[in-house]
Structure 1
Amino acid sequence: MPSTPLYRNQVLLLSQSFFIKDNRDELLLHAHKYDFDIAFFSELAEFVHAVEHSSANTLFVVDLDSLHNMQADMHDRRKMLLLGELLARLPADRSYVYLQSVRQGGRFLLQQRLVDSNCLAYAEKPIPNDVLVDKLFNLFVQKKRGDVVRLIFLGGAADVDGAALLRHRIELIRHDDVRTLHLRVKELQPDMVLIADVEFERTEAIGRVLKKDIEADPVREVILLLHQPNAELARRALAGGFDDVLLLTAPDLLHRQLVNRAGKIRVSKDLIGKDRATGLLNKVGLQKKAQEAIRQAGRDGRQLAFGIVDIDKFKTINDTWGHYFGDIVIKRLSLTLAQHIGDNDLLSRFGGEEFVLVFWDCTLEQGLQKLEAMRQAFCALPFEVKAGDVRHFSFSGGIAAYPDYKNQNELFLRADAMLYEAKQGGRNQIRCNPMEKSA
């Protein structure tokens, strides 16, 4: 059996009555595609023990209808477990997702009791499998610390505490010239741009200038910071491309507002830029990150290695053992690749069974060595296609280097050409011939 867990995240579910429209196998099938597993519990003591010994990548779900079938004391089976007793027994250092009936959901005092009792979220049932799994996946995304959110601020130094924001993984970059702000935004690609009212009054076109750039990030928020209430100024800002207006009543309130917005931006970026089955960057997410890496490499004089890998004979895998098994092969490959990725490297599920990797500060030869180590690790994984029948699979890869190839498109085309050579040469190998450009 592999030492690496098959699924990155896990749900612990306490439920004695089945609450979903479909069946348990269908629920698991949806969960596995979102890269998490579900462990079912019918006894409170076993559930509590599992919660206490769980990892950070775990959600805890409690079906409140289970109260009807549980006893407060195993020696007194006539006494039904009450909500207060259940909440008291759940470990207080965890947060829980509560599932309740429509009737329970109509009782406001019950909702109040839940949200005051380590409630991460609550949901009404019956709820279809795919809807429940999608909601749980979103909670997994929200639990992660996520990428650093970059904030460019045009305004007074005393308005925003950069050190406090950094503790919440928000990088503050100060800028002092409204007429060059659009150039700094183009260079650094921030997630938020905060502009003080006095700067906006100097150049009211700044919101439109930032928003109309064809390369503008749709997730980016342009926000006006008002030092005093000014409804007319706020109207002009919102009509001129700004996303929102914040009033500086107290520094700590502004700090909390920015932290909350950063959290929502992270969720939006994950939903747009990440593959749900593996949690890796998708094609959209890779494009933005790779462009940033190439710009940074150019500024810092660093090298990049750009690799593409593709599972060998994947259609045969799907046709022989089914698409569900094919999805498992993809997930296991994503975990294998991720184990060899550095903090500054990029890994993307580019589409289907194809993955793209960008190695930071890495020569072509070093990139080849890294991909070769990944290939050998994946080839060593055992896959039990049925009881007693263990198979091994492989992938082929191609690699190119920056600055030999200057942009993302050139790098991709060259690495893809090398991948084609690897496939044509017999598969299960990595190709990276030196640069060959026509004059």
Structure 2
Amino acid sequence: MTNPIPPVSVVTRQREIREQYVLMLPERLAALAQAAGDARRLSSLAHGLIGSASTFGFTELADAARQLDQATRALVAGEEEAATRIDAALALALRLGEQVATSPVPDVSEEETSARAEEITVYVLEDDPVQARELVAQLRPYGYHAIAYADPDSFADAVRTCAPEAMLVDIICGPDTDAGSDIVFTLSAEGPVPPTIFLSGRDDFEARLSAVRAGGAGYLVKPVDPAVLAERLDQIIGRDSARPYRVLLVDDDALVAAEYATALGAAGMEVEVLADPVRAIGHIRRFLPDLLLLDNRMPGCSGLELAAVLRQQEGMLSLPILFLTADEDLTDKRLALDLGAEDLLRKPIKNAKLVEQVRARVRRARQLQAMMARDSLTGALNHAMVQEHLATEVARARREGEPLSFAMIDVDRFKRVNDEHGHAAGDRVLRSLSRLLRQRLRRSDIVGRYGGEEFAVILPRTNPQEAALILDNLRKAFHAVGFRGGDDKLFHVTFSAGVAGLTDTGDLASLNLSADAALYFAKRAGRDRVHVSGSISASA
């Protein structure tokens, strides 16, 4: 499996793949020459050469291979005069291929690299040092690295030098009542600026209008609730706190598949590559991809045939499928759409374009799934889905002999929060805890809301002691988060947690009961702590 790739290694990895392709090209050309008397075999090899050569930027070779593919298809269809065209196209492809194989490998341009996963950095313009420190500290538990600047000039210089992902700007900075909006307006006149949220003690129309004219994406009146601010930041930068997008790429050309996997991995996706379509069903059930990326023409089983087989499988009717093809014939596209495919993309496709297409499809699929599987208030999985995932993880842990932990979390004195600060504040507390869990836990962990103020966490390949340590760190981080109620007073909230591990003789029911009992113990022991089932004391 290809995990998200560090940005510094992307260009290096893509150049290595191209060097491998050029090194192996003579072998492909030899196979092409040997198939000269077999039109069907020649067509298959030529089609593969179209896709690979175009993917790696060798357009002249790809065009020659396309001419060869078209001529061989014409011969198979009964056009005898196509034999002459085959000889000419084959000779051209072999000559151009030899030139590629003996020439220096071209560099990978920045345009060919895909969008990359980035660190979430936020610049803050705030002349009050106390408020600046509070903002920086309050955003840290949500995974934002905030850097504060006290004056507009140093703030602007920093943006020009290295732009952040988002900006928080106090409109009133120093004696000038519009210094914040003015500096953002100046920056926007120089070029595109990051999404900006304006913060201000002013709530008048003129202040809001100046923020709009400066291109502000949001406006919050001080004092700012950290949970609301984090939620707005998530929205304006399009942050997805769920697990990385998972893509199963099925392509019999290993180097082309490696190129696409590198591009998608560089964009923060998890990619598994499969050369044999016959094994796809097992891989889908194990890997649980968000999207299937299929090469249309593969030996033994085409992409269209594989899609038809998958649509017969329970649970795979809604799996998004994108086809890749070097064919110009639109017949396959109509067939692909009939099978419920998202689209059929023509090779060559730029890496950035491929990433864009995959992201759009997965984002839409997850949104549809979320409507059915997630709690509308917090975005966490609902109770039924947690139990479904837990049953899957129990079976996997048994099969692979790996540890599995299950935790139940309950917000302490939540009724008091609602009574003293209002139900709107209580809702923000629940959303904040859900966001904190989903952002700070590992990608393999699963978070759900059981109902009310109770949450559940599944921690695969983790023993109870390790799980307790992870949750205890989250407990401390959550306690540091500040909230504001209807009276604008800052308050803090804690949670208690119970952790249970899957035993040799345990099952789904016993795991639920053990975690619930451990949570009850943590509550009785004084709250604001994590207790492990079967242990004597709880950590606080």
TM-score norm. by structure 2 comes to: 0.50
| 1:124-181 Cα deviation digits (max 9, x unpaired) | xxxxxxxxx9997543225889715323213322433133432223444332333332
26, 46, 58: which one pairs with 2:166? 58
115, 119, 140: which one pairs with 2:237? 140
User: Is 1:149–2:246 an aligned residue pair?
Assistant: yes
Residue number in structure 1 paired with 2:227: none
Tell me how far apart the structure 2 counterparts of residues 277 and 209 of structure 1 sit (CA, whole Å): 38
Q: Is the 1:311–1:395 contact (alpha carbons within 8 Å) kept by the matching residues of 2?
A: yes
User: Is 1:313–2:413 an aligned residue pair?
Assistant: yes
Amino acid across the alignment from 1:173: E
Q: Report the CA distance between 1:305 and its aligned residue.
A: 1.4
355, 362, 371: which one pairs with 2:462? 362
Alignment of 1:88-167 (within 5 A): 88=189, 94-96=193-195, 137-142=234-239, 147-160=244-257, 161=259, 162-167=261-266
> Which structure: greater helix fraction?
2
* % identical equivalent positions: 24
User: Is 1:242–2:350 an aligned residue pair?
Assistant: no
Residue number in structure 2 paired with 1:256: 352
| Residue 144 to residue 256, structure 1, CA distance change in 2 (3 Å) | farther
Amino acid across the alignment from 2:272: I
Residue number in structure 1 paired with 2:188: 87
**What RMSD over aligned residues (CA atoms) do the two structures have, in Å?**
5.6
| 1:340-393 Cα deviation digits (max 9, x unpaired) | 745654445555422222334332244345545655676687878799988765
| Residue 403 to residue 235, structure 1, CA distance change in 2 (3 Å) | farther
| 1:81-105 Cα deviation digits (max 9, x unpaired) | 9x99663457x6x434799xxxxxx
| Residue 381 to residue 215, structure 1, CA distance change in 2 (3 Å) | same
Alignment of 1:212-361 (within 5 A): 213-216=313-316, 218=318, 220-248=319-347, 250=348, 253-265=349-361, 267-268=363-364, 271=367, 272=370, 297-298=397-398, 300-330=400-430, 333=433, 341=441, 344-348=444-448, 351-361=451-461
Q: Is the 1:150–1:192 contact (alpha carbons within 8 Å) kept by the matching residues of 2?
A: yes
Tell me how far apart the structure 1 counterparts of residues 196 and 382 of structure 2 sit (CA, whole Å): 28
Moved more, 328-337 or 233-242: 328-337
Tell me how far apart the structure 2 counterparts of residues 89 and 203 of structure 1 sit (CA, whole Å): 48
Q: Report the CA distance between 1:223 and its aligned residue.
A: 1.9
SS in 1 for 2:407: strand
Alignment of 1:26-37 (within 5 A): none
Amino acid across the alignment from 2:287: L
Which ranges in structure 2 are unaligned for 5 or more consecutive residues?
Answer: 1-119, 126-138, 145-150, 172-176, 199-213, 218-229, 536-540
Tell me how far apart the structure 2 counterparts of residues 332 and 365 of structure 1 sit (CA, whole Å): 25
Tell me how far apart the structure 2 counterparts of residues 367 and 373 of structure 1 sit (CA, whole Å): 10
Larger radius of gyration: 2
Tell me how far apart the structure 1 counterparts of residues 344 and 302 of structure 2 sit (CA, whole Å): 17
| Residue 174 to residue 47, structure 1, CA distance change in 2 (3 Å) | closer
Tell me how far apart the structure 2 counterparts of residues 84 and 376 of structure 1 sit (CA, whole Å): 39
| Residue 324 to residue 210, structure 1, CA distance change in 2 (3 Å) | same
Residue number in structure 1 paired with 2:54: none
Residue number in structure 2 paired with 1:395: 495
Which ranges in structure 1 are unaligned for 5 or more consecutive residues?
Answer: 1-7, 14-31, 38-42, 64-68, 72-80, 100-118, 124-132
Alignment of 1:404-423 (within 5 A): 404=504, 411-420=511-520, 422-423=522-523
User: Is 1:178–2:178 an aligned residue pair?
Assistant: no
Q: Report the CA distance between 1:189 and its aligned residue.
A: 1.1
Amino acid across the alignment from 1:177: D
SS in 2 for 1:362: coil
Moved more, 286-295 or 300-309: 286-295
Q: Is the 1:152–1:190 contact (alpha carbons within 8 Å) kept by the matching residues of 2?
A: no
| Residue 424 to residue 214, structure 1, CA distance change in 2 (3 Å) | farther
User: Is 1:188–2:287 an aligned residue pair?
Assistant: yes
| 1:170-219 Cα deviation digits (max 9, x unpaired) | 4443323333322221121122222222249657453244245443484x
Q: Report the CA distance between 1:259 and its aligned residue.
A: 0.9
Tell me how far apart the structure 1 counterparts of residues 380 and 170 of structure 2 sit (CA, whole Å): 29
| Residue 339 to residue 263, structure 1, CA distance change in 2 (3 Å) | closer
Amino acid across the alignment from 2:315: E
Q: Is the 2:296–2:304 contact (alpha carbons within 8 Å) kept by the matching residues of 1?
A: no
SS in 1 for 2:419: helix
Q: Report the CA distance between 1:224 and its aligned residue.
A: 2.1
Q: Is the 1:154–1:174 contact (alpha carbons within 8 Å) kept by the matching residues of 2?
A: yes
Q: Is the 1:383–1:391 contact (alpha carbons within 8 Å) kept by the matching residues of 2?
A: yes
Tell me how far apart the structure 1 counterparts of residues 492 and 185 of structure 2 sit (CA, whole Å): 51
SS in 2 for 1:198: coil
Amino acid across the alignment from 1:206: L
Amino acid across the alignment from 2:274: H
